[in-house]
């Protein structure tokens, strides 16, 4: 290990000092070569929605036992990693309030450096497009992107199990983003069962509506009552429907956190009504919110509803399901 680390440090620093141009590599680049480590590396980190989020009960470690069906969507942040010759990790971000050592991006990079005793310095440029503290997993996705990017860029000797365990330590949602796509997540969210990406044609366009407030996930979980707990049946129903390509009904979607969030945050209740009034069939909270989502079978209707909501001052993203690994989506009707 020592010789590998010495090689990595010397290699990256000498490349840096040689003043090489940025070389944009991607994980799927055909030119990606075992011995080729460039000075910069760019990846995208996608958002997610929760089709279901069943809270089964409270655990003795203070977390809650979950069953949730998550899907990555085509709304992403971009991370650019630049090798530096300082023995530290720094961050630059288009949202300056996120430039601190508590940012999951920095924590993930520190975790990798500590695990492998690396001294190679790093600047992470983070271009945020996913709303922050919004229930879309932006920060968790960023952390998973750092783990994966550094492993690929620096060709680190970490296997899938080690990456998963580092991801789980960083946050409950982080392991999901290592694979993305469609998955059932259980435990505190870290036990992932990847699902075939079958998606209803009638739900191919997604609108994400972000009320102008930030929500604390910890506070939302703290305010749950036993009446909010469920058996996980909703998640199993949605999983079975998607896997057998059966239609999904809006009533199959469920989020145990929604009651508390709607009660605590009037802005979310107002946004729910606005979405329904604008012509959506249903509206559902993603994660701990405050972002709501709904879906449409045509781009024309989705755009129309988006415009109506934007006219009322709402931040609305028109997006679609995506598999970050590049796998195709199989639509069914």
Q: In Å, how far from its chain's centre is CA 191?
A: 15
How far apart, in whole angstroms, are the C-alpha atoms of residue 310 and residue 35? 49
Tell me the C-alpha to C-alpha distance, in Å, between residue 188 and each of 132, 137, 139, 257. Answer: 21, 14, 17, 14
Annotated catalytic residue 191: no
How far apart, in whole angstroms, are the C-alpha atoms of residue 250 and residue 272? 14
CB of 63 to ligand C5P, least distance (A): 4
CB of 256 to ligand C5P, least distance (A): 11
Instruction: Choose between 68 and 151: whose C-beta lies nearer to ligand C5P.
Output: 68
Annotated catalytic residue 10: no
Instruction: Choose between 203 and 285: whose C-beta lies nearer to ligand C5P.
Output: 285
Instruction: Choose between 120 and 255: whose C-beta lies nearer to ligand C5P.
Output: 255
CB of 104 to ligand C5P, least distance (A): 9
Instruction: Choose between 189 and 290: whose C-beta lies nearer to ligand C5P.
Output: 189
Tokens of 103: 């940012």
- Tokens 């960083």 locate to 170
Q: Where are the alpha helices (DSSP H) in 30-188?
A: 104-115, 138-153, 160-170, 174-179
CB 77 within 8 Å of CB 105: no
Instruction: Choose between 38 and 223: whose C-beta lies nearer to ligand C5P.
Output: 223
Catalytic residue among 54, 173, 210, 252: 173
CB of 176 to ligand C5P, least distance (A): 11
CB 147 within 8 Å of CB 112: yes
Tokens of 229: 């707990």
**Buried b vs exposed e over 48-80: b needs ≥16 C-beta within 10 Å?**
bbbbbbbbbeeeeeeebbbbbbbbbbebbbebb
Instruction: Choose between 27 and 187: whose C-beta lies nearer to ligand C5P.
Output: 187
Tokens of 99: 């430039």
Residues forming contacts to ligand C5P in the complex (CB under 6 A) are 63-64, 66, 171-173, 188-189, 217-218, 221
* Residue 204 CB-density burial (10 A; 0-12 exposed, 13-18 middle, 19+ buried): middle
CB 199 within 8 Å of CB 330: yes
CB of 266 to ligand C5P, least distance (A): 22
Partners of residue 173 on adjacent β-strands:
none
CB of 257 to ligand C5P, least distance (A): 10
Coil, strand or helix at 221: helix
Catalytic residue among 48, 54, 128, 210: 48
Coil, strand or helix at 110: helix
Indicate which residues carry an active-site annotation.
48, 173
């Amino acid at each position: 290990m020592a010789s590998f680390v010495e090689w990595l440090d010397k290699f990256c620093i000498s490349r840096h000092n040689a003043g090489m141009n940025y070389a944009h590599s991607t994980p799927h680049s055909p030119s990606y070569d075992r011995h080729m480590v460039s000075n910069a590396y760019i990846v995208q980190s996608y958002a997610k929605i929760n089709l279901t989020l069943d809270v089964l009960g409270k655990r003795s470690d203070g977390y809650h036992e979950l069953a949730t069906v998550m899907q990555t969507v085509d709304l992403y942040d971009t991370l650019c990693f630049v090798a530096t010759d300082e023995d530290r990790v720094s961050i630059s971000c288009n949202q300056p309030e996120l430039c601190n050592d508590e940012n999951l991006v920095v924590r993930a990079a520190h975790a990798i450096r500590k695990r492998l005793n690396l001294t190679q310095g790093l600047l992470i440029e983070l271009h945020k497009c996913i709303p922050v503290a919004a229930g879309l997993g932006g920060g968790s996705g960023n952390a998973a992107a750092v783990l994966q990017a550094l492993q690929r860029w620096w060709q680190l000797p970490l296997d899938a199990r080690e990456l998963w365990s580092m991801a789980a330590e960083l946050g409950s949602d982080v392991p999901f983003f290592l694979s993305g796509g469609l998955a059932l997540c259980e435990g505190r969210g870290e036990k992932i069962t990847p699902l075939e990406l079958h998606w209803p044609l009638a739900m191919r366009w997604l609108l994400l509506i972000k009320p102008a407030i930030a929500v604390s996930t910890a506070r939302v979980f703290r305010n749950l009552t036993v009446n909010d707990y469920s058996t996980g049946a909703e998640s199993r129903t949605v999983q079975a429907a998607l896997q057998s390509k059966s239609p999904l009904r809006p009533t199959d979607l469920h989020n145990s956190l929604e009651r508390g969030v709607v009660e605590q945050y009037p802005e979310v209740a107002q946004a729910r009504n606005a979405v329904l009034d604008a012509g959506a069939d249903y509206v559902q909270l993603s994660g701990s919110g405050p972002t709501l989502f709904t879906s449409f079978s045509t781009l024309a209707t989705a755009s129309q509803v988006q415009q109506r909501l934007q006219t009322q001052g709402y931040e609305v993203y028109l997006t679609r399901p995506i598999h970050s690994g590049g796998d195709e989506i199989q639509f069914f009707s």
